[in-house]
Amino acid sequence: MGDMTRTPLVLAFALALASGCNEAQSATATETAGNTAETSLSGSSSGSTSGSTSGSTSGSTSGSTSSSTSGSTSSESTSAGSATVPDEDYDAVADDFVCILDWTQVRNFRIHNFLGHLDDAIAVAESVDGGDYPVGTVIQLVPSEAMVKRGAGLSPESGDWEFFELKPTASGTEIGVRGFAEVVNQFGGNCLDCHAKAEPQWDFICEKGHGCDPLPFTDEQIAQIQMSDPRCD
Ligand code: HEC
Ligand 1 atom having least distance to the Cα of 140: 29
- pLDDT tens digits, one per residue of 139-195: 999 999 999 999 999 999 999 999 999 999 999 999 999 999 999 976 678 999 999
For residues 208 and 185, the model is more confident at: 208
The answer on pLDDT for 126 being more than 80 is yes
C-alpha–C-alpha distance, residues 113 and 87, integer Å: 16
Residue whose CA is closest, atom 43 of ligand 1? 194
Query: Ligand 1 centroid vs 195 CA: distance in angstroms?
Result: 6
This prediction's pTM? 0.74
Q: For residue 8, how far is its CA from the centre of ligand 1 (angstroms)?
A: 19
Per this entry, what is the length of the chain? 233
Contact 153, 72 (CB under 8 A): yes
Ligand 1, pocket-test mutation among 155, 183, 191, most atoms within 8 A of CB:
191
Q: Whose CA is nearest to atom 36 of ligand 1?
A: 191
> Atom 12 (ligand 1): residue with closest C-alpha?
214
Nearest atom in ligand 1 to 19's CA: 1
Ligand 1 site: residues with CB under 6 angstroms?
Answer: 17, 20-21, 108-109, 139-141, 145-147, 163-165, 183, 185, 189-191, 194-195, 205-208, 212-215
In the chain, pLDDT over 90 holds for what percent of residues? Answer: 58
- For residues 87 and 121, the model is more confident at 121
pLDDT band at 233 (very low <50, low <70, confident <90, very high): confident
Q: Is the pLDDT of residue 57 over 90?
A: no
The CA 58 to ligand 1 mean position distance, Å, reads 28
More confident residue, 167 or 59: 167
